Amino acid sequence: MRFKYTVSLVFIVALVIIEKENNIISRVSDKLTPWQTPQTPLPSNVSGLALLKQNGSYSSLSELDSAFMHLKRRLENYTERLEALRGGRKHILLMTTTRTGSSFVGEFFNQQGSNMFYLFEPLWHVERAMTLESGGTNATVSAKAYRDVLEQLFLCDFSLLESFIDPPPVDHITTALFRRESSSSLCEEPVCTPFVKKVFERYHCKTRRCGPLNFTLASESCHQKEHRAIKTVRVRQLETLRPLVENPLLDIKFIQLVRDPRAILASRMVAFSAKYKNWKKWAVDGDVPVDDDEVKKLKGNCDNVRMSAEVGLRQPAWLQHRYMLVRYEDIARYPMQKAAEMYRFTGIPFTSQVKEWILKNTQASKEASGVYSTQKNSSEQVEKWRFSIPFKLAQVVQKVCGSTMKLFGYRFVNNEATLLDKSISLLEEKTFTFR
Report the pLDDT value the prediction gives residue 97, as an integer from 0 to 100: 97
Compute how many other C-beta atoms are within 10 angstroms of the C-beta atom of residue 240. Answer: 17
Residue 92 belongs to what H/E stretch? strand 91-95
Per-residue burial over 99-116, b if 16 or more Cβ lie within 10 Å, else e, is bbbbbbbbbbbbbbeeeb
Q: Which fold has domain 91-420?
A: Rossmann fold (3.40.50)
What pairing do the DSSP bridges indicate for beta strands 173-174 and 91-95?
Answer: unpaired
CA distance 335 to 326: 11
pLDDT at position 285 is: 83
pTM assigned to the model: 0.80
* Bond prior to 43 in cis (omega within 30° of 0): no
pLDDT score at 50: 46
* pLDDT value for 113: 87
Query: What is the amino acid identity at position 430?
Result: K
Q: Where are the domains of the chain?
A: 2-86, 91-420
Q: Tens-digit pLDDT profile for the chain (435 aa)?
A: 544 444 454 455 455 445 555 555 554 554 444 334 333 333 444 444 444 444 445 456 666 666 666 665 665 555 555 555 566 899 999 999 999 999 999 999 999 989 999 999 999 999 999 998 777 668 889 999 999 999 999 999 999 999 999 999 999 999 999 999 999 999 999 999 877 655 544 556 876 789 999 999 999 999 999 999 999 999 999 999 999 999 999 999 999 999 999 999 999 999 999 999 999 999 998 789 989 999 999 999 999 999 999 999 999 999 999 999 999 999 999 999 999 999 999 999 999 999 999 999 987 544 444 544 455 556 667 889 999 999 999 999 999 999 999 999 999 999 999 999 999 999 999 999 765
Other CB atoms within a 10 A radius of the CB of residue 97 amount to 22
Q: How far apart are CA 18 and CA 148, in angstroms?
A: 26
